[in-house]
């Protein structure tokens, strides 16, 4: 069964420092991977996705993610964190049924990012 894991419940960084939010996945075949961010009392906002091609994916708000097939990872990164980046981050993988992708996203448990001034 397809799954994603976010090993850290919370990540703390100082403003201006680089940040990394970790995600590992388990899928059969080539994965379709996504990162979303959720602010309090808001829905999920799309940040970026990896479908195929370049392993470094650039997304919204200066975020990027690196797809690493050998390590089955898709870590979210940003060179310089902002206090306004503080939020809950979800990694997700598109589910694969017997006949291919089903459309359903399987989410990790989420990682709370706290950026301190």
Partner 1 sequence: EAGVAQSPRYKIIEKRQSVAFWCNPISGHATLYWYQQILGQGPKLLIQFQNNGVVDDSQLPKDRFSAERLKGVDSTLKIQPAKLEDSAVYLCASSSDWSTDTQYFGPGTRLTVL
Q: 60 or 68: whose CB is closer to partner 1? A: 60
How many angstroms separate the CA atoms of 87 and 10, rounded?
Answer: 10
Q: 44 or 82: whose CB is closer to partner 1? A: 44
Do you know the residue count of the chain?
Answer: 117
Structure token digits, residue 104: 């359903």
How many angstroms separate the CA atoms of 94 and 28, rounded?
Answer: 11
The single residue among 29, 40, 53, 103 that binds partner 1, judged by CB under 8 A, is 103
In 3-state terms, what secondary structure has residue 72? coil
Q: Are 66 and 76 in contact (CB under 8 A)?
A: no
How many angstroms separate the CA atoms of 68 and 117, rounded?
Answer: 31
- Binding pattern for the stretch 58-97 against partner 1, x by CB under 8 A and - elsewhere: --------------------------------x-x-x---
Is residue 102 a contact point for partner 1 (CB under 8 A)?
A: yes
Q: 41 or 70: whose CB is closer to partner 1? A: 41
Is residue 108 a contact point for partner 1 (CB under 8 A)?
A: yes
Q: Are 6 and 109 in contact (CB under 8 A)?
A: yes
Residues 22-51 that bind partner 1 (CB under 8 A): 32, 34, 36, 41-46, 49, 51
> Which residues contact partner 1 by CB under 8 A?
32, 34, 36, 41-46, 49, 51, 90, 92, 94, 100-105, 107-110
């Amino acid at each position: 069964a397809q799954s994603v894991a976010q090993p850290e419940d919370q990540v703390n960084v100082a403003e201006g420092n680089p940040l990394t939010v970790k995600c590992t996945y388990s899928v059969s075949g080539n994965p379709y991977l996504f990162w979303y961010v959720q602010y309090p009392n808001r829905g999920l906002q799309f940040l970026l996705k990896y479908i195929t091609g370049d392993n470094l994916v650039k997304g919204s708000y200066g975020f990027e993610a690196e797809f690493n097939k050998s390590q089955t990872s898709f870590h979210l990164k940003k060179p310089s964190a902002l206090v306004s980046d503080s939020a809950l981050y979800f990694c997700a993988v598109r589910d694969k049924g017997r006949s291919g992708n089903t459309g359903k996203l399987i989410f990790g448990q989420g990682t709370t990012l706290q950026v301190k001034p």
